[in-house]
Amino acid sequence: MRIYLVLTMAAAFGAAPPVINELQPRGAQKGRPFTLTIAGQNLGEGAKILSTLPATFTPMAPPAAMADGKYASYLVEPKGELEVGVYPIRVQSADGLSNILLFSIGAFPEINEEESQPGGVPHSNDSIEKAQSLPSTAITLNGTLRGAERDVYRLQVKAGERRVFEVDARRAGSAIDPVITVMDAGGKQIARSEDAAMLNLDPRLDMIFPTAGYYYVEIHDARFSGQTQNFYRLKTGAYAYPTEVYPLGGKRGEQVDVSLGVAHVKADLSGALGPQTFVNLPDSPALPLPLAIGEFPEVNEPVNGALTLPVTVNARLSKPGEIDKYTLNVNPGEEYIFELQARELGTSKLTGVITVYDESGKRLASAGDTAFAVDVFAVQASSRTAGDPFLNFKVPDGVKQITVAVEDLARRGGQHYGYRFMASKGSQDLQATIATPALNIPAGGTAVVNISVDRRGYAGPLTIKALNLPAGIRMSGGIVPPDPPESLTPRLGNRRAMVSLTAGADTKLNIAELSFAAIGQDANGAPIERRARGVGYVIGVSGATAQGVVDRQRPLTGAWLGAELPVAMAPAAAAHLDLKLEKTDKKESGYEFLFRWTWKPRNAMQAVPPTVNVDVPNFADLRVIGMAVDAKDKKTGTFLVTSTKNTLPSRYDIGINARLMIDGQPQEIYSEIQQFTLPALDPEEKNANASPSVAR
C-alpha cells in the first residue's frame, strides 16, 4: 500500500522537518465529513498531507489559541465509500517528511470522552459515582488514558440485550494495552477482557445482560503506564465480527478464499506490496484482520504424500495435543530451511515448535523449544517472549526421508491455532529491514540509515547496497563483519548495518523512496542478495525493563504499508561534522585508534558541544575513551577507540553525531561514516579461553 499525495496545506515556514504529535480526533464515521486537527511542530506553509485515505482535505484556520506552526486544521470530505480500517497520515513540507500517525475510519456515530476534551476536568470519570453516560445506540467513543487512571462509563440496557464492547488501541496506533471490565450497579465485576483472540492485545467482550438496569464499563491500561500515544476507541453495539481467520495467508498475486468464521470472503493478493494485507468482514464495524502474503506455492491441509518444495502449508492444530507431521524425501548432505508463521502474524495463539525426525523416529533437530543463544550484539535483546521458530537443517548420512513435526510448545490447540509452515531447499539465508522509517537529508549534509540484518544460518560478511541512489547523493558505510564459526547456531542474531547518505548543496530528488539490499556470499561463492523491507512507521511503547522487551513493549511498526525508505531533501543543517582516523597503534591488550572530529558551523558564532556520540556497530568489547576538545580550537577534538585480544579482526564502520540547539529546536548533526580495519593478532596473543560470545 503506497502513500499518495492528497493536499497542499497552508502554514508558516519552518526550518526543520515537520513532526506530528497528535491527531484530533483519532477516528471518524465512514461516509461523513469531519474536521481533523494535526498537532505537532513545523507544520508550515506549502506543506502537503500524504495518506492512503481517499478524501479531500480543505484547510481551515485553527483556533486562535493554537500557536502558529504547531496546529493545522482541515475539513475532510471522503471520496466514495470508505472501508473500515486504519489509514496513515504524514505531512511533507519544503523542510522534509514527518513521522506517521494512524487515523481510524469506523462504522458508528462518534462521540468523545468529556474528560479528554479541551477544558475537561482531569479524573472526572474515574469511578462509578462520576461515570460518563453513554447513549443506548451503537457508538464509537474516543478517549484517552493518562497513566494511572480508569475511565468509567454508564450504560442502560434491557433484560436479555446483547452488547459487544471492543477497544481499538494497539491496532489503531495507540501504545496503551487496554482492559475492559463490565460491572453491575453495585460495582461487582461480571465480565472482563484483556487480550482477545486476533486483536493484537486489544480486548473484546460479547455478552447478554441478564436483567435490565444500569451497568458500568471501565477502561484502563493493563500496566497503568504513561504513553505518548494514549488514545483508545471504544465501540459498543450489537454487531457481527470475525471469529477466526483461516488460512492465515496466501501467495502473492492470487485470490484466496478466507474464512472469517461468520462468513467467507475473497482476498485479492495481487496489489499488495508489503508482507501482508487486510481482510474486512462485510458490513462489520470491526477493524480488518491481517493476512500474510507469501512467495512460495501454497497448499492447505490435509497434505497427502511427501511435500514438493518450495511450499507453504496452511494448517491448524484443531485440538489440544495435536501434532501435524509432514514427510520429505531427502538425500544426505542436502540442506533445508523450515519456518513457521503464526504468533507473529497476530492472528494465531500458537507458540510453535518444529522438530525433525528420521525414518526410525530419531529426533534430529528442533527449533522453538530451546533457549535463546547468548548474543550481545543483537539489535534487540532476547525477549522473554519467543517469536515464531526458524530452522536450518542439514540431512545426516544414511537418511533418505525425514518427518517434520509442528506442535504447540504448551500442547494447546483449537480454532485460533493456525499456522503457515514454509519449507525450501537452502543452507543459508538472511532478511534485511530498514529500521529508519523515513529520511530527511539536509542539503549539503549527511543523514544516517540503520538497517537490521537477521542472519539465518549465514555467518559470512555482509554489505549493504543502494539499489536506486539518485544523482547528487553519495553513500558510505554498510559493512557487517562475519561471525566466527564457533558462534554459528541454527538462527544467528540480528546485526546492525549503518549507512550514511550525503547530498550536494543543490541536490534535487526525483524519487519518493530509497531501496537497499543486503548482500552476502554462500559457501559456493554465489551471491545471497535480499531486498530490505521498510518498517513504515515506528510508534514507541514505554515500559521496557532490564529483563528485556516483551510483546506489550515492542514498538508499533507498519511494514504492511509496503514502503521501503521514504526520503526527502531538507534545508541545509547548521553545521558539518567531519571525522578522520589519525593514528592506529598496537597495544598489549589490542589496538588503539585515534579519531579526530571537526565542527564546521555555518555561523561562526554557533556554540558546539564539547563531546560527540560515537557509533561502531558490531564491534566487540568496544571502548571509547580519552574524548577531549583541543585547547586551542574548541571546534575540534579527539577520542580513542580500543579493541581487545578477542575482538574479531575485520573492517568496521564508524560514525559520530551530536546535537545543536537552533532557534530553540534540537538539530541532530551526523558525520559521514568512515571505515577502519582491525588487524588480526598472532595466534599466541589471543585468549584461548574466551567464550564464543566474547569472541564475537
Amino acid 386: pLDDT: 62
Whether residue 271 has pLDDT greater than 90: no
Amino acid 293: pLDDT: 97
- Separation of alpha carbons 680 and 276, rounded Å: 45
Write the CATH number for 387.
2.60.120.380
**DSSP code, position 545:** B
- Of 549, 570, 591, the last residue of a domain is 570
For residues 497-525, give the mean pLDDT. Answer: 93
pLDDT tens by residue, 46-61: 778 999 999 998 888 7
- How many C-beta neighbours within 10 Å does residue 53 have? 23
User: 532 with 641, same domain?
Assistant: no
Whether residue 11 has pLDDT greater than 50: no
Q: What is the dihedral of CA 203, 37, 4, 465, to 10 degrees?
A: -70
Whether residue 693 has pLDDT greater than 80: no
Alpha helices in 159-233 (DSSP H): none
CA atoms in the 13 A half-sphere facing the CB of 526: 6
pLDDT tens by residue, 450-472: 999 998 888 889 999 999 999 99
SS3 call for 172: helix
- Of 106, 133, 151, the last residue of a domain is 106
- The answer as to whether 169 is a domain residue is yes
For residues 569-581, give the mean pLDDT. Answer: 96
Whether residue 116 has pLDDT greater than 50: yes
Tell me the pLDDT band of 377, cut-offs 50, 70 and 90.
very low
Tell me the pLDDT band of 692, cut-offs 50, 70 and 90.
very low
- The answer as to whether 694 is a domain residue is no
- The answer as to whether 242 is a domain residue is no
Amino acid code (one letter) for 639: F
Contact assessment for residue 456 and residue 465, using Cβ atoms and an 8 Å cutoff = no
User: 348 with 475, same domain?
Assistant: no
For residues 76-97, give the mean pLDDT. Answer: 92
Task: Identify each DSSP E strand in 317-445 by its residue range.
Answer: 324-329, 335-341, 352-357, 363-367, 390-394, 401-408, 418-425, 429-434, 439-442
pLDDT tens by residue, 623-671: 999 999 999 999 999 999 999 988 899 999 999 999 998 888 889 999 9
SS3 call for 553: helix
For residues 290-308, give the mean pLDDT. Answer: 96
Whether residue 695 has pLDDT greater than 60: no
H helix or E strand, kind and range, residue 256 = strand 255-259
Alpha helices in 516-580 (DSSP H): none
Q: Can you give 86-145 as a three-state secondary structure string? A: EEEEEEEECCEECCCEEEEEECCCEEECCCCCCCCCCCCCCCHHHCEECCCCCEEEEEEC
User: 511 with 583, same domain?
Assistant: no
Average pLDDT, the chain: 90
Range in 8-22, 231-245, 439-453, 593-607 with the lowest mean pLDDT: 8-22
In the numeric block, the cell 510453535 is attached to: 352
Q: Domain span at residue 157?
A: 110-237
* Percent of the chain residues topping a pLDDT of 70: 90
- The answer as to whether 690 is a domain residue is no
Pairing of strands 538-539, 556-557: antiparallel
Which residues are CB-neighbours of 500 under 8 A, at least 6 positions away?
Answer: 446, 447, 448, 449, 475, 476, 477, 655, 670, 671, 672, 673
- Separation of alpha carbons 29 and 139, rounded Å: 10
Amino acid 690: pLDDT: 47
User: 356 with 289, same domain?
Assistant: no
- How many C-beta neighbours within 10 Å does residue 177 have? 25
Amino acid 276: pLDDT: 94
User: 404 with 530, same domain?
Assistant: no
Amino acid 61: pLDDT: 78
Tell me the pLDDT band of 372, cut-offs 50, 70 and 90.
low
Cα-Cα-Cα-Cα dihedral sign, residues 208, 210, 212, 217: negative
Q: Is 629 exposed, middle or buried (0-12, 13-18, 19+ CB in 10 A)?
A: middle
Residue 96 Rama label (left phi>0; alpha psi -120 to 50; beta): left
Number of residues that make up the chain:
696
In the numeric block, the cell 525414518 is attached to: 359
Backbone angles phi, psi at 345, to 5 degrees: -75, -20
User: 222 with 257, same domain?
Assistant: no
Range in 147-161, 522-536, 591-605 with the lowest mean pLDDT: 522-536
- The answer as to whether 692 is a domain residue is no
User: 452 with 563, same domain?
Assistant: yes
User: 560 with 482, same domain?
Assistant: yes
Whether residue 521 has pLDDT greater than 50: yes
Whether residue 9 has pLDDT greater than 80: no
Cα-Cα-Cα-Cα dihedral sign, residues 167, 169, 170, 173: positive
Q: In this predicted model, which residue has the larger pLDDT, 383 or 474?
A: 474
Write the CATH number for 443.
2.60.40
pLDDT tens by residue, 406-427: 999 999 999 999 999 999 998 8
pLDDT tens by residue, 340-365: 999 999 999 999 999 999 999 999 99
User: 366 with 471, same domain?
Assistant: no
**DSSP code, position 147:** S
pLDDT tens by residue, 388-401: 999 999 999 999 99
Total number of domains in the chain: 6
Amino acid 380: pLDDT: 40
Contact assessment for residue 579 and residue 477, using Cβ atoms and an 8 Å cutoff = no
Residue 694 Rama label (left phi>0; alpha psi -120 to 50; beta): alpha
pLDDT tens by residue, 475-491: 999 999 998 755 555 45
Whether residue 1 has pLDDT greater than 60: no
pLDDT tens by residue, 431-446: 999 999 999 999 999 9
User: 438 with 502, same domain?
Assistant: yes
Whether residue 10 has pLDDT greater than 90: no
Amino acid 65: pLDDT: 60
- Of 541, 570, 599, the last residue of a domain is 570
